[in-house]
Amino acid sequence: MNHSGEDNFNTRYGGTTGEIAVFTDSSRASNLQPPQDQDAPHWQQLGYQHIWMPYCQMQTSPLPLPVVATDEVYLFLADGTRLIDGMASWWTACHGYNHPHILDAMRDQLTKMPHVMFGGINHEPALTLAARLADLAPGNLNRVFFSDSGSVAVEVALKMAVQFWRNRGVEGRHKFVAFQHAYHGDTTGCMSVCDPVNSMHSHFKGFLLEQYSHAVPETANQLKQLESLLAAKQSEIAGVIVEPLVQGAGGMKFHSATALADIRRLCDKFNLLLIADEIATGFGRTGSMFACEQADVVPDIMCVGKSLTAGVLGLAATIATDHVFAAFQSDDPTHALMHGPTFMANPLACAAANASLDLFESEPRLEQVRVIEDALQNQLEPCRTIDQVVDVRVKGAVGVVQVRDLHHIEELRASFVREGVWLRPFGDMIYLTPPLTISPEQLTDLCDAIVRVVRTWSNW
Ligand SMILES: Cc1ncc(COP(=O)(O)O)c(C=O)c1O
């Protein structure tokens, strides 16, 4: 592993702050150098005064890592440091970075037509992709609406569900049931279906639409309570939204296929639409192409994003069943779905997505996920014996080491960088979502780094 320049590097770049602001204890903010380092690349010195970083208290955070190139599972920093990326750029780079098949497809599309509007126009990359997604998605999820980010895909799903009922002449169904620890994105509708208490969006209480939040029904009691809620509020509920099997940014919680199947069953019983947010879990991450498959569940609406383009461009999709789509078919123009992001179905992004699907067909990604799952299980196991660790859990290519309490998060991130890996712990978790193409040796380096750092971390 190349650690060149790391000492100098580490005094400057502690990493960035937590995804979930409420988990970041600013009173223990980093005492690393403030972000005005003269050794930082010129573009960073110049631009950092003008950039606004995500999920970041910019007054106290150290400079972010200056990444200048990516390749396979690596990030390359301005000073030559090479890091193994344990995050796959927020779950997106499923085939690793700069895969030649994806770059070739994009180059080809770039010279033909990088973008064209989608209103009143069709193009081959989008229609091919729509047909392929319909083929791949469970059951009769046959109708694909494209957007440019996961949050927008969820917004579209919520609007779709509300309008589904209106178009059918059913008034008053405009609320959603979502789950504790849910995360569905940062836009207003999405924030309303995130966990209302344990999320960064709790700041916006009073501004957001109020929805029903319930525990994922893992126990008989939770199931009974959920059933009572749905029975009592059925007439005002448009649907139930869930991240199947793995809840991501709201706490990296896992639930059983049985719980997911029970949610589907209750939706059927009370005639509610089920929205599966597969934005993080889709495209192999949990061991099947879509997590819903493991519970034999077909949602009424499914959202995908992130890995859809293998992480090279923003693209997402809201995929509806024939049944949902049928409610929008009418002589009445007001029954149409009134949504249309400017960059929806961007041809370049669709070309990348088609190339990514080629790779799922031609390379053994799901088998690689099984190997990663085994390796994570074995290699994170030693963390269980460490005092501060409260849980170690693995699902597919997702590994989580949950600790009692995490302070000085920037220093912790810097420790990982010293180990030659890029991880971004947040809340009370150190978690891994590596590229699905990571080699056993690279994965061992990542896991060893976690075990070593967690074991020797002196700031618990
Ligand atoms: C489950 C889930 N839904 C929605 C989103 C929002 O996607 P985006 O960041 O592309 O808007 C995310 C992003 O992390 C997610 O994990």
Segment-wise mean pLDDT, segments of 10 residues, the chain, 460 residues: 36 37 36 64 96 95 97 98 98 98 98 98 98 98 98 98 98 98 97 89 88 98 98 98 98 97 98 98 98 98 98 98 98 97 98 98 98 98 96 98 93 96 96 98 98 90
Q: What is the predicted pLDDT for the residue at 201?
A: 74
Mutate to test the pocket of ligand 1, among 91, 183, 346, 431 (most ligand atoms within 8 A of CB): 183
Å from CA of 250 to ligand 1 middle: 11
Residue 377 lies in a domain: yes
Q: Residue 177 maps to which CATH number?
A: 3.40.640.10
C-beta atoms surrounding 359 within 10 Å: 17
Residue 262 lies in a domain: yes
Specify the ligand 1 atom closest to the Cα of 247.
1
Mutate to test the pocket of ligand 1, among 19, 87, 151 (most ligand atoms within 8 A of CB): 151
Q: What is the predicted pLDDT for the residue at 23?
A: 34
Å from CA of 458 to ligand 1 middle: 33
Name the closest-CA residue to atom 7, ligand 1. Answer: 150
143 lies in the same domain as 233 = yes
Query: Cβ neighbours of residue 180 under 8 Å, at least 6 residues apart?
Result: 195, 197, 198, 213, 214, 215, 216
Residue 1 lies in a domain: no
Q: What is the predicted pLDDT for the residue at 8?
A: 40
84 lies in the same domain as 128 = no
Check residue 2 and report its DSSP letter.
-
Q: How many domains does the chain have?
A: 2
Specify the ligand 1 atom closest to the Cα of 278.
1
Q: What is the predicted pLDDT for the residue at 35?
A: 57
Name the closest-CA residue to atom 5, ligand 1. Answer: 185
Bridge partners for 147 per DSSP: 316
Å from CA of 150 to ligand 1 middle: 5
78 lies in the same domain as 110 = no
- Measured in degrees and rounded to the nearest 5, phi and psi for residue 242 equal -145, 145
Alpha helices in 51-208 (DSSP H): 88-91, 100-112, 124-136, 150-167, 188-192
Structure tokens belonging to residue 2: 């190349």
Around ligand 1, the residues with Cβ closer than 6 Å are 149-151, 154, 183-185, 243, 248-249, 277, 279-280, 305
Mutate to test the pocket of ligand 1, among 147, 184, 201, 254 (most ligand atoms within 8 A of CB): 184
- Which pairs from 402-405 meet CB under 8 Å and 24+ separation? 402/252, 402/428, 402/429, 403/428, 403/429, 403/430, 403/454, 403/460, 404/428, 404/460, 405/460
Q: How many CA atoms lie within 13 A of 459 on its CB side?
A: 14
What's the CA gap between 175 and 189, in Å, rounded? 11
Q: What is the predicted pLDDT for the residue at 459?
A: 80
Residue 326 lies in a domain: yes
127 lies in the same domain as 216 = yes
326 lies in the same domain as 445 = no
260 lies in the same domain as 397 = no
Q: Which positions are annotated as active-site residues?
A: 55, 183, 277, 306
Q: Which of 335, 362, 389 is the last residue of a domain?
A: 362
What's the CA gap between 257 and 180, in Å, rounded? 17
How many Å separate Cα 69 from the centre of its chain?
Answer: 22
147 lies in the same domain as 228 = yes
Query: Cβ neighbours of residue 74 under 8 Å, at least 6 residues apart?
Result: 82, 83, 84, 85, 97
376 lies in the same domain as 354 = no
57 lies in the same domain as 155 = no
321 lies in the same domain as 393 = no
Q: What is the predicted pLDDT for the residue at 9?
A: 39
Å from CA of 225 to ligand 1 middle: 28
Check residue 32 and report its DSSP letter.
S
Å from CA of 285 to ligand 1 middle: 14
Q: Residue 59 maps to which CATH number?
A: 3.90.1150.10
C-beta atoms surrounding 243 within 10 Å: 27
Residue 401 lies in a domain: yes
Name the closest-CA residue to atom 2, ligand 1. Answer: 184
C-beta atoms surrounding 115 within 10 Å: 15
Q: What is the predicted pLDDT for the residue at 36?
A: 63
Å from CA of 317 to ligand 1 middle: 12
- Measured in degrees and rounded to the nearest 5, phi and psi for residue 106 equal -70, -40
172 lies in the same domain as 237 = yes
Look up the domain containing 430 and give its range. 6-95+364-456
- What is the pTM assigned to this prediction? 0.93
Specify the ligand 1 atom closest to the Cα of 249.
16
Q: Which of 296, 330, 362 is the last residue of a domain?
A: 362
Q: What is the predicted pLDDT for the residue at 24?
A: 36
114 lies in the same domain as 59 = no
Q: How many CA atoms lie within 13 A of 109 on its CB side?
A: 23
Specify the ligand 1 atom closest to the Cα of 185.
6
Residue 199 lies in a domain: yes
Residue 340 lies in a domain: yes
Residue 45 lies in a domain: yes
Å from CA of 350 to ligand 1 middle: 18
Specify the ligand 1 atom closest to the Cα of 149.
10
Q: Which of 362, 385, 412 is the last residue of a domain?
A: 362
Whether residue 415 contacts residue 453, with contact meaning beta carbons closer than 8 Å, is answered with yes
Q: How many CA atoms lie within 13 A of 48 on its CB side?
A: 20
Q: What is the predicted pLDDT for the residue at 453?
A: 96
